[in-house]
Amino acid sequence: MQRNGIKRTIKRRYHFYFWVIYFVFNVMRWGSYFGDFMYSFKSNLVEFPLHIILVYINVYYLVPRLILKKKYTLYFLWIFLSLALHYIIRSGLNLWLVTEDIWPEVEGRLAPFGLNHILAVTIGELYVLGLTTAIKFTVDFIKERDANTDLRELQFQTELNFLRAQIQPHFFFNTLNNLYALTLKKSEKAPYVVLKLSDIMKYVLYETSKKRIPLLKEIDHIDNYIELEKVRFGNYVTSKVEINGNIDEVAVVPLLFLPFVENAFKHGPSKTGKMKMSLNFTITQEVLHFEVINTCAPCDSFF
């Protein structure tokens, strides 16, 4: 809530800066043209609210409701009517509040309501309308880009959390139970299991928060997982990891391959409990190929 309030404050501040710069620019431009900066100041002060009204109607009403919905004919009709009304009100206010001669030094077609005067005023308004519309589209584009970036980041985090969840909880319970049994037996394997489990937990806690990690780290993590599963299955499991090509510079999403390895252990052991598994990582033409080959229990055991 506070963040939204800060954003609104910053937005209003930028709007204020824009209009101050625009006002000063117009005063200086027309003051130089007329040779009378006081007249230019008073004239622009009278017209200034009309500029603001016209711009905000265009930016916050006409553009979203007509341009973005591709109602171009209706949009240009509204712009034409708005400019005509703006010109009449603007000229009337100048005649009433500033001077009877809007452009004191000119006559004829350049005088108020003359063709050239109408064109000059209209082009000036079209300039500010075009500028503010371009700013509007640019800001909207940046907002949409940032929103898409946030969405992709959220999607990445969701997928990463899903991959984290794929490290099945029973794996940790089984490993801890195995570790407990080994400590009771005072087995020399206990420190080895603690070390491997520590490496796995460190990887999950610290490495998986990154968008990309070196493939070598991912393979090390898979090796640690396999070694702990071997403690559970004993000598019934044999495995090998093959790497073909240079993977030193290859980066991948963390935990991308582990679910396949878990699945192999889940469905791999045969009726005798024995299992063979082979993992192959191959780089060909900047494409990473990953293959898991494992023994499988007879299909009829699932029916």
Cα→Cα distances 252→238, 288, 290, Å = 26, 10, 12
The confidence score (pLDDT) of residue 279 equals 92
In percent, the amount of the chain with pLDDT more than 90 equals 5
Q: Which residue has the higher pLDDT, 146 or 2?
A: 146
- What is the pLDDT averaged over residues 137-156? 78
Task: Give mean pLDDT, residues 21-38.
Answer: 79
Who contacts 243 (Cβ-Cβ below 8 Å, separation ≥6)?
Answer: 219, 281, 282
Whole-prediction pTM value?
0.49
Domain ranges of the chain: 2-160, 166-302
Using an 8 Å Cβ cutoff, are 160 and 204 in contact? no
Element (H, E) at 292: strand 287-294
166-302 CATH choice from 3.40.1000, 3.30.70, 3.20.80, 3.30.565: 3.30.565
